[in-house]
Amino acid sequence: MIRKILMAAAAVLTFSSVSFAAGAHDGLVCTGCHDIHYAKDSFIFAVAANKVATSPSTKKNYSGVTALCLGCHADAEHGGMGIKPISQHTTHPFGTPPNPKVARVPRALLRDSKMDCVSCHDPHPSNPNYRYLRTDTKGGSEMQYFCAMCHPAKADASVSNQAMKTLKVFTSMDESKGPTTSTVGELTSAPDAGPAETAPAAAPAAAPKK
């Protein structure tokens, strides 16, 4: 009897650690980020866009998906919920169109022609990669391939070659294909910047600006 209880407890412990390892966004289920009938923003987002945090380069508020992520991932002082808050000043740049001298970003990874959180992350629970990154970095130990995807001139030739030709870039954004991977070459030659830009729900944010 006691043995049975212990075994059941062990099973619960193992199960909960397994489900934790599956990914931090699993606990949000879908409706932590998407609100079916009472949404606050585009992509029927459950969390209102962050209108407090400002980009250090443009001095303006963020827009699009970046502002949605920052609804949770900024500290309260910067308009977020303090969940793993991202620093606004000592951070890798996002929220601006990429300077082609600094990076070569595959078009399909841009949103509204800008570098966005989802240029580097795909936040859906189907993404098996460390920190929901677009590529498998082997738990962060092979980050150079990920960086070389957009900064190939900085990496060792063998690394940038691999990043351009065989590295798999994860995307959950095409239901006709399912969760899938493409190479950087395939993403770069894609005719459009991916489904998000043309999705009706995103229309206000993604309207072509001139």
- Sites of contact with ligand HEC (CB under 6 A): 24-25, 28, 30, 32-34, 43, 47, 65-66, 68-73, 83-84, 86, 92-94, 96, 98-99, 102-103, 105, 109, 111, 115, 117-121, 123-125, 131-133, 140, 143, 146-147, 149-151, 173, 195-196, 199
Residue located via tokens 């899938």: 180
The nearest distance, CB 95 to ligand HEC, in angstroms, is 7
The nearest distance, CB 11 to ligand HEC, in angstroms, is 23
Task: Name which of 51 and 84 has its Cβ closer to ligand HEC.
Answer: 84
Task: Name which of 8 and 65 has its Cβ closer to ligand HEC.
Answer: 65
Phi, psi at residue 41, to the nearest 5°?
A: -160, -175
The nearest distance, CB 85 to ligand HEC, in angstroms, is 8
The nearest distance, CB 166 to ligand HEC, in angstroms, is 16
Q: Count of alpha carbons within 13 Å of 11, Cβ hemisphere only?
A: 6
Task: Name which of 71 and 79 has its Cβ closer to ligand HEC.
Answer: 71
Task: Name which of 7 and 84 has its Cβ closer to ligand HEC.
Answer: 84
Q: What burial class does residue 192 get, using C-beta atoms within 10 Å of its C-beta: 0-12 exposed, 13-18 middle, 19+ buried?
A: exposed
128-164 as b/e: b if 16+ CB within 10 A: ebbebbbbbbeeeeeebbbbbbbbbeebeeebbeebb
SS3 for 70-88, per residue? CCCCCCHHHCCCCCCCCCC
